[in-house]
Chain A
Amino acid sequence: MNGASVVAGAPAIVAHGLDVGYTGRAVVRGIDVDLPAGGLLCLIGTNGSGKSTLLKTLAGLIQPVGGTASIVGGPPGTLPARVGYLAQRPASSYTLPICAADVVAMGRFAALGLLRRAGTTDRALCAESIERMGVTPFAHRPLFELSGGQQQRTHLAQALARRADVLLLDEPTAGLDPNGREVFAQVMRDERARGCAVAMATHDLADAEDADVVILLAGRIVAAGAPAEVLTDENLRASFGFTGPH
């Protein structure tokens, strides 16, 4: 399946017996995923449960410890223009003189490569992403002057500007105010309607209600499947130690 070009309706994220971890030591073993285009996969668990490790593996930042994974038909990390990744608490350099709009424009770098000049489409995608994430009021202010929530919106707009087929988002709503969360939820519905598959790590059970697949992690797979089957009191107690953050 590796290297095959994507067929309409082909799965966006596929994993078979995937073991993820660092330097050969698995944090979570035996992950199976088959997420179609437009699908939503939610990873739920406490810090250190393996959510970020799985997302990093799917993004191609770390190698799988075992098993296989493919994103839009290719091995992880091989199709950067089609896969958007948002790190948990993306680093913000407080020295770097760069405005929010420039940070969003960096979302097009994967498609442009080293030398190709940004064209009308690139500019339109950036403008649209800035608009959708509500970045417009502070688009021309330096990143280091922005609040945590404004920075998060900026980074999300950057991921959107990639116009990816798969979005891998690590705690995307962290630092967002209620309005920001609402904006984000709407944007995710629109992205999925367009056919973009989304995999996101979250602490927030509300994020998981819309999901096609939920994986509850605690250094192992506590449960995986449809939200109603997974998010039971018993499972939540097993992974959080209590009935959930609500």
Chain B
Amino acid sequence: MTDFFLSPFTDNEFMVRALVAGVLVAVCCAIVGSFVVLRGLAFVADALAHGVLPGIATAVLLGWPVVIGAAAGTVVMMAGVSVITRRSRLSSDTAIGLFFAGMLALGVMITSRTRNFTGDLTRILFGELLGVASEEVLWQSVALVFVAAVTWVCRRPFLLLCIEPELAATSGFRVRLYETLMLMVVAVAIISSFQSVGTLLVFGMLVAPASTAALLSRRLGTMMGMAAIIGSMATYAGLLLSYHAGLAAGASVVAVAVGVFLVTFAGVELRTAVTRRHGLGVPRASTHRHDHSHSHDHDHDHDAHDHAPGPVVGGGS
């Protein structure tokens, strides 16, 4: 039995490195992903993950460090979306979508100039978790420390932004500055993680563990901690699956993470349904609500739409 669970890691050094790298990615993405989920940045994060593609492709083509290319791609992406959102009447969604597609296309075009087109593209999009070098693990640790430090220092404005940007402004925090910083840590998490899970899959690690944790927790700190644990477990389980079934490692990890979300979601829904059926109301919550909990539910929907987070890049202040 222990053979099944442990020997892949005790026998293979590359599996240990993959596990360490994967856990670093999971923790980094748990911190950043919590804000992505709460601030409604999923689309921006997805776009950032694709925006890095032409930068990486150029770096690969020229033989430069890919991190530099990725960083340049992110800066272009963020600046472009910010300018279009501020200068035109187009919503940030449209601006992000434009850059998303444009950067992806540019990335593929640049990659098609390299000798090993499909190999390079696959590596960039899906990562190479089993081929992670010690040096990359070191960079990931540095990125994690950076992300954790910035988030800790900015915890108050970040929290206020998640509730309402106006509240951040009237509390004396510059909205544009902290929105940019928040996007910056998202970008750093993406750049540092893409080598292990790739630019397509990193998005799954950003969103899946954090949303699972959001379903279960009642405090932001708990949510981040839970997301880190869920992400790390998914990394371990995904690697195990990949090893025994001969499947792509990064994809297995992300698939497990998303699977955990779906199972948790089903469990929470089931619990709610069962408690309702027994006439207990929604667990804890609605027992104190006045007896028109249905109309409140409508209000919830309503508010969620009315207060959908505003323009994210550049807007807001």
Q: Do A and B come from one complex?
A: yes
A83 to B284, CA, bound (A): 36
Name the contact of A98 in the complex, choosing from B219, B300, B304 (C-beta under 8 A). Answer: B219
A interface footprint on B144-184 (CB within 8 Å = 1, 0 otherwise)? 00000000011011011011101101111100000000000
In contact, B163 and A147 (Cβ under 8 angstroms): no
Q: Of all chain B residues, which has the CB nearest A99?
A: B218
What are the residues of chain B within 8 A of A89 when measuring CB–CB? 303, 306
Name the contact of A96 in the complex, choosing from B162, B173, B306 (C-beta under 8 A). Answer: B162
Name the contact of A114 in the complex, choosing from B153, B163, B285, B296 (C-beta under 8 A). Answer: B153
A77 to B38, CA, bound (A): 26
A83 to B286, CA, bound (A): 34
What are the residues of chain B within 8 A of A97 when measuring CB–CB? 214, 217-220, 222-223
CB distance from B26 to the nearest CB of A (A): 19
In contact, A83 and B296 (Cβ under 8 angstroms): no
| Interface assignment of A16: CB less than 8 Å from any CB of chain B | no
| Interface assignment of A59: CB less than 8 Å from any CB of chain B | yes
Name the contact of B170 in the complex, choosing from A83, A94, A102, A115 (C-beta under 8 A). Answer: A83
What are the residues of chain A within 8 A of B286 when measuring CB–CB? 145
A102 to B167, CA, bound (A): 14
In contact, B167 and A80 (Cβ under 8 angstroms): no
The bracket for how many chain B residues form the interface is 35 or more
| Interface assignment of B269: CB less than 8 Å from any CB of chain A | no
In contact, A93 and B162 (Cβ under 8 angstroms): yes
What are the residues of chain A within 8 A of B289 when measuring CB–CB? 147
In contact, A115 and B214 (Cβ under 8 angstroms): no
What are the residues of chain A within 8 A of B37 when measuring CB–CB? 95
A80 to B299, CA, bound (A): 31
Q: How many A-B residue pairs have CB under 8 A?
A: 102
CB distance from B229 to the nearest CB of A (A): 15
What are the residues of chain B within 8 A of A80 when measuring CB–CB? 170-172
Q: Of all chain A residues, which has the CB nearest B39?
A: A93
What are the residues of chain A within 8 A of B306 when measuring CB–CB? 89, 91
In contact, A141 and B214 (Cβ under 8 angstroms): no
A116 to B173, CA, bound (A): 14
Given contacts A87-B164, A91-B307, contact A114 B220 (CB under 8 A): no
What are the residues of chain B within 8 A of A96 when measuring CB–CB? 38, 162-163, 220
CB distance from A54 to the nearest CB of B (A): 15
| Interface assignment of A106: CB less than 8 Å from any CB of chain B | yes
In contact, B153 and A61 (Cβ under 8 angstroms): no
Name the contact of B157 in the complex, choosing from A61, A114, A142 (C-beta under 8 A). Answer: A114
In contact, A61 and B169 (Cβ under 8 angstroms): yes
In contact, A59 and B156 (Cβ under 8 angstroms): no
In contact, A91 and B163 (Cβ under 8 angstroms): yes
A141 to B218, CA, bound (A): 8
Can you list 26 contacts pairing A with B, beta carbon distance less than 8 Å?
A61-B166, A61-B169, A77-B170, A87-B166, A89-B306, A91-B163, A91-B164, A91-B306, A93-B38, A93-B162, A94-B303, A94-B304, A97-B217, A97-B219, A97-B220, A98-B159, A106-B159, A109-B160, A109-B171, A109-B172, A110-B172, A114-B157, A141-B288, A142-B285, A145-B282, A147-B289
Additional 15 contacts, C-beta under 8 A, given A93-B307, A115-B153 = A77-B170, A81-B172, A87-B166, A91-B306, A94-B303, A95-B37, A98-B218, A99-B219, A109-B156, A109-B171, A112-B156, A138-B288, A141-B284, A145-B284, A147-B289
